[in-house]
Chains A and B, each alone.
Chain A
């Protein structure tokens, strides 16, 4: 079954600290893996997109890694800010059609002052 699992379910950190969110998937075939940030009550916003051949991609303080062999990805956030408080969603695409995107349940990150 095509699934995306994320851990932890929720995370609380202090402002300025780093954190790492995990994503494991069993989706096949694999086209690419995306990380999205979703603020409360808003739509998800794309952070990174990685294909099979890419094992790391950065977007400012966000760095995503991909191990296609073990079917794992991580999102590392450096020097967290209060505005990083959001849900982070891992999405695995089976192709480039939106109906074949498999979404994880998200990790809820809270950054406290």
Chain B
């Protein structure tokens, strides 16, 4: 079965712009988690979607948002980009207690 897929692989934006990242979970998995991995830091929980609903969000400002579609794929939107938003954004699904990650989207804000 295909794993968790993310796009784009890399994205370069300038301050103030908006970024949209996409994630497709493993077939049949309904939960999608988004994490931010800034350089040198541990992964930080961003958002959790399940069955099309936002279930929880981490300690991030409202300009981080997203949604989950009927096919369980998900989008992460980051508005009004700031330099410190530069990071690897990881999407994951949790199934039978195993958290499976995608390869990530590297966002660089200039």
Contact of B42 with A by CB under 8 A: yes
Distance A11 CA – B76 CA, assembled complex (angstroms): 34
Of the residues A91, A98, A102, contact of B33 by C-beta under 8 Å: A98
Asked whether A42 lies within 8 Å of B45 as measured between CB atoms, the reply is no
- Chain A residues contacting B100 (CB-CB under 8 Å) are 46
User: Which chain A residues in 28-80 approach chain B with CB under 8 Å?
Assistant: 32, 34, 41-46, 49
Chain A contact residues (Cβ within 8 angstroms of B): what range? Answer: 20 to 34
Asked whether A89 lies within 8 Å of B102 as measured between CB atoms, the reply is no
Number of A-B residue pairs having CB atoms within 8 Å of each other in the complex: 60
Asked whether B45 lies within 8 Å of A101 as measured between CB atoms, the reply is yes
Asked whether B42 lies within 8 Å of A98 as measured between CB atoms, the reply is no
Asked whether B94 lies within 8 Å of A98 as measured between CB atoms, the reply is yes
**Secondary structure class of chain B's binding surface, majority of residues:** strand
Asked whether A43 lies within 8 Å of B90 as measured between CB atoms, the reply is yes
- Chain B residues contacting A91 (CB-CB under 8 Å) are 99
Asked whether A104 lies within 8 Å of B42 as measured between CB atoms, the reply is yes
Once A99-B45, A104-B42 are accepted as A-B contacts, the answer to whether A44 and B101 lie under 8 Å apart by CB is yes
- Chain B residues contacting A106 (CB-CB under 8 Å) are 42
- Chain A residues contacting B55 (CB-CB under 8 Å) are 99
User: Which chain A residues in 9-40 approach chain B with CB under 8 Å?
Assistant: 32, 34
Asked whether B41 lies within 8 Å of A105 as measured between CB atoms, the reply is yes
Of the residues A44, A49, A99, contact of B58 by C-beta under 8 Å: A99
Asked whether A99 lies within 8 Å of B42 as measured between CB atoms, the reply is no
- A44: nearest residue on chain B (CB-CB)? B101
Contact of B22 with A by CB under 8 A: no
Asked whether B48 lies within 8 Å of A98 as measured between CB atoms, the reply is yes
Contact of B11 with A by CB under 8 A: no
Contact of B4 with A by CB under 8 A: yes
Interface flags, B95-106, vs A, CB<8A=1, else 0 = 001111111101
- Chain A residues contacting B44 (CB-CB under 8 Å) are 103
Asked whether B97 lies within 8 Å of A96 as measured between CB atoms, the reply is yes
Once A41-B106, A43-B4 are accepted as A-B contacts, the answer to whether A98 and B40 lie under 8 Å apart by CB is no
